[in-house]
Amino acid sequence: MKIWLNIVAYEIKKFDINGEKLLYFMIEKLGVTERVGKRLIDKGRVKLNGEIVVYKGVRAVGEVEVLFYEPTPSIQLIPVFEEDDFAVFEKPSGMLSHPNGFETQECILDSIKKLYGYAANITHRLDYETSGLLVASKNKAAESILKTTFETRGIQKEYTALLFGQLTEKTEVECLLEQIKVLELKVMQGASEQGKHSLTLFEPLEYFGKHNMTLVKAKPFTGRLHQIRLHAVHLGYPIVGEPIYQKDLEMARDYLDKKMSEAERIERTGARRVCLHASKISFEYKGKNFEIESKSDIKSEFLASI
């Protein structure tokens, strides 16, 4: 049984139809492509006179209802870099990259689709609390090329992180990682002899003796989930604000179950956010090389969060 809800970012649009082919009528009214129109029907998001439509070629009479994704951003994004086919944005900490269901109140994809239309998309993800550079395609052809480039490791990324302790020299961390289930049904990452190869280079940039913390550059050579966060713990210098991988299951459970106030979060993890920022990205697109750097004063942002 399908239950229709009218939730932020989704809107039920209603139209009167009088004998037209439903698919093409809907495409014209909503201003979407034929592919999007067919997908709306396939997902059961189109009703005719209260009944879910299953046949795309129907000629319809009566009231059409469409459960439609409507971008409703509360922030105005300004790209830090823009080309005809793609743009690069700075994602703030504490915002999802993509919606993770009808319950998502807002994600950065809302703002991107509002800027460039429904064919625009994000080509990779950043964790909810990780800030920094995010690449968005403006059309499906660019999306396919850029996603393939990410999947084949054709894009090089650098991060800036704030670590507990004093790291004094460049250090590589290499281990095998795989998804494991802990804390009932929560899926996390962990070291395992059956896992996939992972490698990160950490380079110290500045030490803050007052806080006993080190600002570092982190360069991942593989793309495993939560790789830098795990490798920092493995190195013995956890990322400031890390709530999951500091080998404290009670703290991880409280964070995942949203039982931690901001004051408790700062006291228990060192900061109100994970101090990790995607600061540089390099890749080739259609024979041209691009190297884009973050414009954020991330050092100040990190220190203000502790």
Evaluate whether 239 touches 232 at the Cβ level (below 8 Å): yes
Count of CA atoms in the C-beta half-sphere (13 A) of 98: 11
For 24-30, the CB contacts below 8 A with 24+ separation are: 25/60, 25/64, 26/64, 26/66, 30/66, 30/68
| 14-49 core/surface letters (b: 16 or more CB in 10 A; e: else) | ebebeeeebbebbbebbebeeebbeebbeeebbbbe
DSSP 92: P
Tokens at residue 183, please?
Answer: 């804390």
Catalytic (active-site) positions? 127
- Per-residue 3-state assignment (H helix, E strand, C coil) for 238-270: CECCCCCCCCCHHHHHHHHCCCCCHHHHHHHHC
Tokens at residue 60, please?
Answer: 């319809």
Q: How far apart are CA 194 and CA 179, in angstroms?
A: 10
Q: How far apart are CA 95 and CA 127, in angstroms?
A: 8
Helix H or strand E encompassing 223: none
One-character DSSP codes across 164-217: ES---S-EEEEEEEEEEEETTTEEEEEE-TTSEEEEEEEEEEEEETTTTEEEEE
